[in-house]
Copies of this chain bind each other. A is one copy, B any other.
Amino acid sequence: MTRVLREFGEDKLLAQVFPRLNRNSRVVIGAGDDCAVVKFRDAKDWLLLKTDCVVERVHFTKETSAHAVGWKAMMRTLSDFAAMSGIPEFALITLAIAGKKKASSVGELYRGLNRAAARFDVAIVGGETGETAGPTVIVVSVAGFVERDRCILRSGGKANDDLFVTGELGGSIRGRHLRFVARVDEARWLTANFKVHAMMDLSDGLGTDLPRLARASKLGFSIDQRALPLSPGCSIQQAISDGEDYELLFAISPRDRMRLEKLWRKKFPKLPLTRIGKLNRQSAISDQQLPRGYVHFRQRR
Protein backbone atom coordinates (compact mmCIF):
# COMPACT_ATOMS: atom_id res chain seq x y z
CA MET A 1 0.00 0.00 0.00
CA THR A 2 2.66 2.52 -0.90
CA ARG A 3 0.73 3.57 -3.99
CA VAL A 4 -2.27 5.77 -4.44
CA LEU A 5 -5.28 5.01 -2.22
CA ARG A 6 -7.82 4.59 -4.94
CA GLU A 7 -11.49 3.99 -4.41
CA PHE A 8 -13.37 1.78 -6.74
CA GLY A 9 -16.98 0.75 -6.83
CA GLU A 10 -19.66 3.04 -5.52
CA ASP A 11 -17.51 6.15 -5.18
CA LYS A 12 -16.38 5.85 -8.77
CA LEU A 13 -19.90 5.23 -9.98
CA LEU A 14 -21.12 8.28 -8.10
CA ALA A 15 -18.31 10.43 -9.42
CA GLN A 16 -19.28 9.56 -12.96
CA VAL A 17 -23.04 9.78 -12.66
CA PHE A 18 -23.73 12.42 -10.03
CA PRO A 19 -22.15 15.53 -11.53
CA ARG A 20 -24.74 15.31 -14.28
CA LEU A 21 -27.77 14.95 -12.04
CA ASN A 22 -30.47 17.54 -12.42
CA ARG A 23 -30.22 20.37 -9.87
CA ASN A 24 -32.28 23.44 -9.06
CA SER A 25 -31.79 26.72 -7.28
CA ARG A 26 -32.85 25.39 -3.86
CA VAL A 27 -30.12 22.76 -3.57
CA VAL A 28 -27.39 23.64 -1.05
CA ILE A 29 -25.58 20.27 -1.06
CA GLY A 30 -26.64 17.55 -3.49
CA ALA A 31 -25.46 13.97 -3.65
CA GLY A 32 -22.12 13.15 -2.05
CA ASP A 33 -22.37 14.09 1.63
CA ASP A 34 -24.21 12.08 4.28
CA CYS A 35 -27.50 13.88 3.64
CA ALA A 36 -28.69 16.24 0.94
CA VAL A 37 -29.16 19.82 2.16
CA VAL A 38 -31.84 21.96 0.54
CA LYS A 39 -33.79 25.15 1.15
CA PHE A 40 -37.49 24.63 1.81
CA ARG A 41 -39.72 27.59 0.95
CA ASP A 42 -39.44 30.38 3.54
CA ALA A 43 -38.15 28.16 6.38
CA LYS A 44 -35.06 29.45 8.18
CA ASP A 45 -33.63 25.99 8.82
CA TRP A 46 -32.42 23.70 6.09
CA LEU A 47 -34.29 20.60 5.00
CA LEU A 48 -32.18 17.43 5.14
CA LEU A 49 -33.03 14.43 2.97
CA LYS A 50 -31.53 10.96 2.99
CA THR A 51 -32.38 7.53 1.67
CA ASP A 52 -30.67 4.25 2.40
CA CYS A 53 -31.42 0.58 1.92
CA VAL A 54 -30.73 -2.79 3.45
CA VAL A 55 -30.80 -5.87 1.30
CA GLU A 56 -31.28 -9.49 2.35
CA ARG A 57 -28.10 -11.56 2.07
CA VAL A 58 -26.00 -8.35 2.07
CA HIS A 59 -27.00 -6.49 5.25
CA PHE A 60 -28.85 -9.30 6.97
CA THR A 61 -29.50 -13.00 6.55
CA LYS A 62 -32.61 -15.14 6.43
CA GLU A 63 -31.93 -15.92 10.09
CA THR A 64 -31.93 -12.29 11.26
CA SER A 65 -35.11 -11.43 13.15
CA ALA A 66 -37.41 -9.13 11.18
CA HIS A 67 -37.55 -6.77 14.15
CA ALA A 68 -33.75 -6.38 14.12
CA VAL A 69 -33.78 -5.81 10.36
CA GLY A 70 -36.32 -3.03 10.77
CA TRP A 71 -34.34 -1.43 13.59
CA LYS A 72 -31.15 -1.52 11.53
CA ALA A 73 -32.79 -0.18 8.36
CA MET A 74 -34.14 2.85 10.25
CA MET A 75 -31.02 3.50 12.34
CA ARG A 76 -28.72 3.46 9.31
CA THR A 77 -30.54 6.40 7.81
CA LEU A 78 -30.78 8.22 11.14
CA SER A 79 -27.02 7.80 11.48
CA ASP A 80 -26.62 9.96 8.38
CA PHE A 81 -28.60 12.67 10.13
CA ALA A 82 -26.25 12.44 13.10
CA ALA A 83 -23.36 12.91 10.66
CA MET A 84 -24.72 16.34 9.66
CA SER A 85 -25.79 17.27 13.20
CA GLY A 86 -29.37 17.11 11.90
CA ILE A 87 -32.65 16.20 13.53
CA PRO A 88 -34.62 13.48 11.72
CA GLU A 89 -38.39 14.01 11.73
CA PHE A 90 -40.25 11.99 9.08
CA ALA A 91 -39.62 8.61 7.50
CA LEU A 92 -41.01 6.83 4.46
CA ILE A 93 -40.60 3.08 4.08
CA THR A 94 -40.46 1.12 0.84
CA LEU A 95 -40.49 -2.62 1.02
CA ALA A 96 -39.86 -4.97 -1.90
CA ILE A 97 -40.63 -8.41 -0.62
CA ALA A 98 -41.73 -11.81 -1.87
CA GLY A 99 -45.50 -12.22 -1.61
CA LYS A 100 -45.21 -15.44 0.35
CA LYS A 101 -43.15 -13.77 3.10
CA LYS A 102 -45.39 -10.87 3.78
CA ALA A 103 -47.77 -12.11 6.41
CA SER A 104 -45.15 -13.68 8.63
CA SER A 105 -42.63 -10.88 8.80
CA VAL A 106 -43.92 -7.49 7.66
CA GLY A 107 -45.53 -6.81 11.02
CA GLU A 108 -42.35 -7.58 12.94
CA LEU A 109 -40.27 -5.58 10.48
CA TYR A 110 -42.50 -2.55 10.95
CA ARG A 111 -42.34 -2.92 14.72
CA GLY A 112 -38.56 -2.72 14.47
CA LEU A 113 -38.74 0.30 12.18
CA ASN A 114 -41.28 1.89 14.48
CA ARG A 115 -39.29 1.38 17.64
CA ALA A 116 -36.12 2.82 16.10
CA ALA A 117 -38.10 5.80 14.78
CA ALA A 118 -39.73 6.40 18.14
CA ARG A 119 -36.30 6.55 19.78
CA PHE A 120 -35.84 9.94 18.07
CA ASP A 121 -39.50 11.01 17.76
CA VAL A 122 -39.46 10.29 14.04
CA ALA A 123 -42.89 9.77 12.48
CA ILE A 124 -43.33 7.08 9.83
CA VAL A 125 -45.57 8.89 7.37
CA GLY A 126 -45.76 6.47 4.48
CA GLY A 127 -45.05 2.99 3.32
CA GLU A 128 -45.13 1.30 -0.03
CA THR A 129 -45.02 -2.44 -0.46
CA GLY A 130 -44.03 -3.99 -3.76
CA GLU A 131 -43.62 -7.58 -4.72
CA THR A 132 -40.28 -9.03 -5.80
CA ALA A 133 -39.22 -12.53 -6.75
CA GLY A 134 -35.82 -11.87 -5.16
CA PRO A 135 -34.27 -10.93 -1.83
CA THR A 136 -36.12 -8.51 0.42
CA VAL A 137 -35.12 -4.84 -0.01
CA ILE A 138 -36.03 -2.25 2.62
CA VAL A 139 -35.56 1.41 1.76
CA VAL A 140 -35.87 4.07 4.44
CA SER A 141 -36.08 7.71 3.34
CA VAL A 142 -35.96 10.37 6.02
CA ALA A 143 -36.58 14.12 6.05
CA GLY A 144 -35.51 16.42 8.85
CA PHE A 145 -33.79 19.69 9.55
CA VAL A 146 -30.64 21.36 10.69
CA GLU A 147 -30.03 24.97 11.67
CA ARG A 148 -27.88 26.64 9.04
CA ASP A 149 -25.09 27.39 11.51
CA ARG A 150 -25.02 23.83 12.84
CA CYS A 151 -24.91 21.91 9.57
CA ILE A 152 -21.60 19.99 9.47
CA LEU A 153 -20.30 18.78 6.12
CA ARG A 154 -17.46 16.42 5.28
CA SER A 155 -15.71 19.22 3.44
CA GLY A 156 -15.04 21.68 6.25
CA GLY A 157 -11.91 20.08 7.71
CA LYS A 158 -8.87 22.35 8.21
CA ALA A 159 -5.19 21.45 8.19
CA ASN A 160 -3.96 20.52 11.66
CA ASP A 161 -7.45 19.64 12.91
CA ASP A 162 -7.63 16.81 15.40
CA LEU A 163 -9.58 13.76 14.27
CA PHE A 164 -11.86 12.12 16.83
CA VAL A 165 -14.04 9.02 16.76
CA THR A 166 -16.80 8.06 19.16
CA GLY A 167 -17.18 4.56 20.58
CA GLU A 168 -15.16 1.53 19.54
CA LEU A 169 -14.38 0.23 16.09
CA GLY A 170 -14.53 -3.22 14.52
CA GLY A 171 -16.48 -6.40 15.07
CA SER A 172 -19.89 -4.83 14.50
CA ILE A 173 -20.98 -7.93 12.60
CA ARG A 174 -20.98 -9.86 15.89
CA GLY A 175 -24.21 -8.07 16.77
CA ARG A 176 -23.80 -4.32 17.16
CA HIS A 177 -24.83 -3.68 13.54
CA LEU A 178 -28.34 -4.87 14.45
CA ARG A 179 -28.84 -2.88 17.65
CA PHE A 180 -26.78 0.33 17.45
CA VAL A 181 -28.31 3.69 18.27
CA ALA A 182 -27.50 6.50 15.83
CA ARG A 183 -25.28 9.18 17.41
CA VAL A 184 -27.86 11.93 16.96
CA ASP A 185 -27.75 13.11 20.56
CA GLU A 186 -23.95 13.13 20.65
CA ALA A 187 -23.73 15.09 17.39
CA ARG A 188 -26.25 17.65 18.56
CA TRP A 189 -24.34 18.10 21.81
CA LEU A 190 -21.12 18.57 19.88
CA THR A 191 -22.50 21.33 17.67
CA ALA A 192 -24.28 22.99 20.57
CA ASN A 193 -20.95 23.32 22.39
CA PHE A 194 -18.13 23.27 19.83
CA LYS A 195 -17.21 24.45 16.37
CA VAL A 196 -16.94 21.10 14.60
CA HIS A 197 -15.29 21.58 11.19
CA ALA A 198 -16.19 18.33 9.44
CA MET A 199 -18.10 15.21 10.39
CA MET A 200 -19.43 11.94 8.97
CA ASP A 201 -20.64 8.60 10.24
CA LEU A 202 -18.49 5.50 9.85
CA SER A 203 -20.51 3.03 7.81
CA ASP A 204 -17.96 1.47 5.46
CA GLY A 205 -15.04 1.41 7.91
CA LEU A 206 -12.46 4.01 8.86
CA GLY A 207 -10.18 2.83 6.04
CA THR A 208 -12.76 3.84 3.46
CA ASP A 209 -14.57 6.67 5.21
CA LEU A 210 -11.65 8.73 6.56
CA PRO A 211 -10.15 9.16 3.06
CA ARG A 212 -13.58 10.37 1.93
CA LEU A 213 -13.67 13.05 4.62
CA ALA A 214 -10.08 14.08 3.88
CA ARG A 215 -10.69 14.20 0.14
CA ALA A 216 -13.88 16.26 0.60
CA SER A 217 -11.82 18.69 2.72
CA LYS A 218 -9.00 18.65 0.14
CA LEU A 219 -6.55 17.50 2.79
CA GLY A 220 -4.46 14.52 3.79
CA PHE A 221 -4.41 12.80 7.15
CA SER A 222 -2.20 10.92 9.53
CA ILE A 223 -3.42 8.27 11.93
CA ASP A 224 -1.90 6.75 15.03
CA GLN A 225 -3.06 3.18 14.54
CA ARG A 226 -2.08 2.30 18.12
CA ALA A 227 -4.56 4.90 19.33
CA LEU A 228 -7.56 3.37 17.59
CA PRO A 229 -10.34 2.39 20.04
CA LEU A 230 -10.64 -1.31 19.34
CA SER A 231 -13.80 -3.26 20.13
CA PRO A 232 -13.01 -6.10 22.54
CA GLY A 233 -11.15 -8.87 20.72
CA CYS A 234 -10.64 -6.87 17.52
CA SER A 235 -7.37 -6.23 15.73
CA ILE A 236 -6.32 -2.89 14.29
CA GLN A 237 -7.04 -4.30 10.84
CA GLN A 238 -10.59 -5.15 11.87
CA ALA A 239 -11.15 -1.74 13.42
CA ILE A 240 -10.12 -0.16 10.14
CA SER A 241 -11.83 -2.49 7.70
CA ASP A 242 -14.86 -4.20 9.22
CA GLY A 243 -17.29 -1.34 8.67
CA GLU A 244 -20.81 -0.84 10.02
CA ASP A 245 -19.51 0.96 13.11
CA TYR A 246 -22.04 3.81 12.82
CA GLU A 247 -19.80 5.94 15.02
CA LEU A 248 -19.02 9.62 14.41
CA LEU A 249 -15.73 10.74 12.87
CA PHE A 250 -15.11 14.46 13.18
CA ALA A 251 -12.46 17.12 12.77
CA ILE A 252 -12.04 19.95 15.27
CA SER A 253 -9.40 22.51 16.11
CA PRO A 254 -6.67 21.31 18.54
CA ARG A 255 -7.44 24.44 20.54
CA ASP A 256 -10.73 22.76 21.57
CA ARG A 257 -9.08 19.47 22.50
CA MET A 258 -8.84 19.78 26.24
CA ARG A 259 -12.25 21.32 26.76
CA LEU A 260 -13.84 18.74 24.47
CA GLU A 261 -12.26 15.77 26.22
CA LYS A 262 -13.19 17.08 29.63
CA LEU A 263 -16.80 17.99 28.85
CA TRP A 264 -17.33 14.78 26.87
CA ARG A 265 -16.31 12.57 29.78
CA LYS A 266 -18.78 14.41 31.94
CA LYS A 267 -21.65 14.31 29.44
CA PHE A 268 -21.12 10.80 28.01
CA PRO A 269 -19.18 8.92 30.69
CA LYS A 270 -19.89 5.52 29.15
CA LEU A 271 -18.99 6.35 25.55
CA PRO A 272 -15.30 6.61 24.64
CA LEU A 273 -14.12 9.58 22.60
CA THR A 274 -10.71 9.00 21.02
CA ARG A 275 -8.31 11.26 19.20
CA ILE A 276 -6.99 9.06 16.41
CA GLY A 277 -4.93 11.48 14.32
CA LYS A 278 -4.90 14.73 12.39
CA LEU A 279 -5.78 16.30 9.08
CA ASN A 280 -2.78 17.76 7.26
CA ARG A 281 -1.68 19.42 4.05
CA GLN A 282 -0.45 16.24 2.39
CA SER A 283 -2.18 15.46 -0.84
CA ALA A 284 -5.52 13.82 -0.17
CA ILE A 285 -4.43 11.17 -2.65
CA SER A 286 -1.59 10.16 -0.41
CA ASP A 287 0.26 7.13 0.75
CA GLN A 288 -1.41 6.75 4.11
CA GLN A 289 -0.80 3.40 5.74
CA LEU A 290 -4.48 2.62 5.90
CA PRO A 291 -6.01 -0.62 4.70
CA ARG A 292 -9.31 -0.15 2.98
CA GLY A 293 -12.69 -0.67 4.57
CA TYR A 294 -15.63 -2.35 3.00
CA VAL A 295 -16.42 -1.10 -0.49
CA HIS A 296 -19.62 -1.87 -2.39
CA PHE A 297 -19.16 -3.05 -5.95
CA ARG A 298 -15.42 -3.40 -5.74
CA GLN A 299 -14.24 -3.33 -9.31
CA ARG A 300 -12.48 -6.32 -10.72
CA ARG A 301 -9.01 -5.64 -12.00
Binding site for B on A (CB under 8 A): 10, 13-14, 16-18, 20-24, 26-27, 29-31, 35-36, 38, 40-45, 47, 49-59, 89-90, 92-94, 96, 99, 102, 106-107, 110, 114, 117-118, 121-135, 137, 139, 141, 143, 145, 296-297
Contact of A27 among B17, B18, B125 (CB under 8 A): B125
User: Taking the nearest CB of chain B, how far is it from the CB of A101, in angstroms?
Assistant: 11
Contact of A296 among B54, B106, B131 (CB under 8 A): B131
Contact of A41 among B13, B31, B43 (CB under 8 A): B43
> In the complex, A118 Cα to B123 Cα: how many Å?
30
* Identical chains bound together, number: 2
Give the residues in chain B near A26, CB-CB below 8 Å.
Answer: 89-90, 123
Give the residues in chain B near A38, CB-CB below 8 Å.
Answer: 89-90, 123, 125, 143
With A22-B123, A31-B125 in contact, is A137–B42 under 8 Å at CB? no
Contact present for A121 and B24 (CB under 8 Å):
yes
Contact of A122 among B24, B40, B43, B110 (CB under 8 A): B24
Contact present for A110 and B21 (CB under 8 Å):
yes
Query: By CB atoms of chain B within 10 A, which of A43, A56, A90 has the most?
Result: A90
Contact present for A132 and B123 (CB under 8 Å):
no
Contact present for B49 and A92 (CB under 8 Å):
yes
Give the residues in chain B near A129, CB-CB below 8 Å.
Answer: 10, 13-14, 296-297
Give the residues in chain B near A143, CB-CB below 8 Å.
Answer: 38, 40, 47, 49, 143
With A17-B106, A143-B143 in contact, is A132–B131 under 8 Å at CB? no
Give the residues in chain B near A27, CB-CB below 8 Å.
Answer: 90, 123, 125
> In the complex, A128 Cα to B29 Cα: how many Å?
16
Contact of A297 among B20, B131, B133 (CB under 8 A): B131
Contact present for B53 and A128 (CB under 8 Å):
yes
Give the residues in chain B near A13, CB-CB below 8 Å.
Answer: 102, 106, 129
Beta-carbon nearest neighbor of A52 in chain B: B128
Contact present for A17 and B127 (CB under 8 Å):
yes
> In the complex, A99 Cα to B299 Cα: how many Å?
10
With A129-B297, A131-B296 in contact, is A96–B24 under 8 Å at CB? no
